[in-house]
Structure 1
Amino acid sequence: MNYEKRGGGSRSLPARVGRRLWVTAATALVLTAAVYTLSVRTVTGQRWENAVLAGRRQDETLAAARDANHMLDHVTVSSLGAAVAMLMLIGLARRRPALTAVAVGTVGIPLLLAEVLKRYVLSRPELVDAPARLSGNSFPSGHTTIAMSVLFGLALVVPYRLRGIAVGVCALWAISVGAYTVAAGWHRPSDTIGADLLVLAVACALAGLLARTGRVRPATERPSPLSALFLAPLCLVTLGGLGGGSLLLLESVVRLSPADPAVPRLAYAGGHALAAGASAAVTVVLLASLHRIDLDDPAASP
């Protein structure tokens, strides 16, 4: 097929896709900084997230806590290694070495950045009085970074026709990991949202590099008819999580006071919803950025 005759020519497609992906990556980084600043570096942000953790302790049931910890305990070095091996097998089976490297980098680079940022760069000042257990720095979430980076690596490396199904299935697990970090009290909502945005930035930047080297083409296959079935819940979680979570956040912030017993419950519900909604939202953004785009055209010159 002569791609130069389609919609402005294939020669301009890599440049357009690359710009779109890099703009998305830059926007994600700006939003990461905004989430950190508002949640970690302000009194209101710290008080609200402390209320989230307090509400979690009030509303927690033994079964819910056990389920959350059980899920997170499976996110280990061994499971991460198995996930990376799976991405490599898919990429190499498709004979896409550059795409394989990008998929693996989408996992490795965010993990490295998350650890460096958490340990050495993004400190948590003591702006409000709180118990020692609430004062430790945890931005961004390592568990969420692992889950979302594996999801995004899979989104990049699978064939376009199967992308929606693969992402829809894996997203159920990845979103659950992010939400469970809040439910288990391992992380604050901002930790999860920051990790989501960090992984989105890296995935889009690396995919943008593929595009700028000409390794993209218009998708010639239609997505599987089952894609809509798997992606519909993702859109619902995005709308419900961000919409409902934002309303609960606003209400809890307006009422933010140690004397109001309803605040922790509202804050926890809002934080939990936002954690799930943000993970779903960044996944939708990645898919939208790659809509009708097949990555790593084997006919392209590096």
Structure 2
Amino acid sequence: MAPFDRPRTGGSPPAIAAGDTWWYAAVAGEAAGSFSARIRIRMRRACLAAVVLLTVAYAGLVLTTTGRRWGDAALAGRLTDPAVARFLREHPSLQGIGTLSLALAVLLIVALGVLRKRYAYLGAALGTVAAALLAAELLQRYAPGPRYVDAAGLTAPGGFPSSPAVLAAGLALGLALVVPHRLRGAAVGLGTLWAIALGAYSIASGRHRPGDVIAADLLVLAAFAALVALLARKGRVRPAPRHGLPPQRLLVTVPLALLALGGLAAGAYLLGDCLPAATGPLPVDLPRTAHRCGQALAAGTGAAVALVLLGLLRHVDLDPGTAPYRITHPVAEDPFPEEHDHEIS
């Protein structure tokens, strides 16, 4: 037997038949030092870290007065920034284009999953996006925090996290499950750049605060880290060839890394100058600085989330392959069907 083979907990192993390999794959995945166990632990930690960061963002940007005033200042800053006002005035159809791009992105990921016949992974990716959207809606409606009033005087649910940003980021990261391993970095990188652009427009148009977009990215990272941990628990991951990064991946990964580092660094630098006091009027220049700070932090967080997931999956192949313990011929129940009374000397 293999060093890690052992009976299942609570019963004896099932009878071995031709092609019956699920039990052996499960045993290999449950081994303490196996590849699947390492990936499962890694993804669980990433999911926990994303949830902790999401909680910190919620406590700081929603539950505190300073955080709420910073978000309000970022929304007001879009009106005082002439570059943003001119861009929105010259491109009034961007909102419709963004909605259309979301629909096309759903069709694209479905088409890729169907063409590659990856129906289980396609369903897992879409199910994870749907679960993240449901979690976002529940947080918007039932999480403690201030309630905003719309133009009609009705109480509107909060926008933390942003549902469109959750959908965009979820579709971008979901490409990791339906594209080949060698194209994963390029596909997820391009999808992330598209999701960052949609998030930047939602902040510039005043539909969402920067914290809503940041929370959406963290929520999606937690959801997909939990999904990969579940796939590793089922033995659906395997090591990938350790080759260098291909040129097409570098063309996307390097700009994504620069965007993550530059956005987070610029946002952290501007944050010290645009945090408003808990009470009192806002300085004249603070809203514009807060808007630019929020845009930088949202873009940097979106890029960092994609890089973290790609880094965690760098040497992980999610493509279904041949099981390492596959039995390709029938197994005789009785190895000595003719002579039952025999002696091995």
Counterpart of 1:258 (choices 273, 281, 296) is 281
Aligned to 2:131: 109
- What is the one-letter code of the residue matched to 1:242? L
Label 1:95 to 1:136 Cα distance change in 2 as closer, same or farther (>3 A).
Answer: closer
Is the 2:128–2:224 Cα contact (8 Å) retained in structure 1? yes
Larger radius of gyration: 2
Q: Is the 8 A contact 1:182 1:275 kept in 2?
A: no
Alignment of 1:1-302 (within 5 A): 12-60=34-82, 61-66=84-89, 70-76=93-99, 79-119=101-141, 121-125=142-146, 137-220=158-241, 222=243, 223-253=245-275, 258-300=281-323
> Which string of whole-angstrom CA distances, capped at 9 and with x for unpartnered residues, describes residues 162-211 of structure 1?
01111222222111111111111111111001100111111111111111
Sort the Cα spacing of 1:30 and 1:72 in 2 relative to 1 into closer, same or farther, 3 A.
farther
The 3 A distance-change label for structure 1 pair 255 and 117 is closer
Mapped contact 1:84–1:107 kept (Cα < 8 A): no
- Does the CA-based 8 Å contact 2:66-2:276 persist in structure 1? no
Q: Amino acid of the residue matched to residue 266 of structure 1?
A: T
Whether the 8 Å CA contact 1:148–1:174 is kept in 2: the answer is yes
- Please tell me whether the aligned partners of residues 17 and 211 of structure 1 are also in contact (alpha carbons under 8 angstroms): yes
2-structure distance, mates of 1:285, 1:158? 18
Separation in structure 2 between the aligned mates of residue 103 and residue 240 of structure 1, nearest angstrom: 30
Unaligned runs of 5+ in 1: none
User: In the alignment, residue 262 of structure 2 is paired with which amino acid?
Assistant: G
User: Which one has a larger percent helix, Structure 1 or Structure 2?
Assistant: 1
CA contact (8 A) 1:148 1:199 kept: yes
Q: In the superposition, relative to structure 1, how do residues 85 and 265 fare at CA in structure 2: closer, same or farther (>3 Å)?
A: closer
Q: Structure 2 counterpart of 1:248, which letter?
A: L
**Aligned to 2:275, what secondary structure does the other structure show?**
helix
Query: Identity over aligned residues, as a percent?
Result: 44
Counterpart in 1 of 2:15? none
Shift of 1:221: 6.9
Report how many aligned residue pairs link the two structures. Answer: 288
The AA in structure 2 aligned to 1:186 is R
Residue 126 of structure 1 deviates from its aligned partner by 6.6
Cα distance in structure 2, aligned partners of 1:24 and 1:144: 20
* Matched AA of 1:100: L
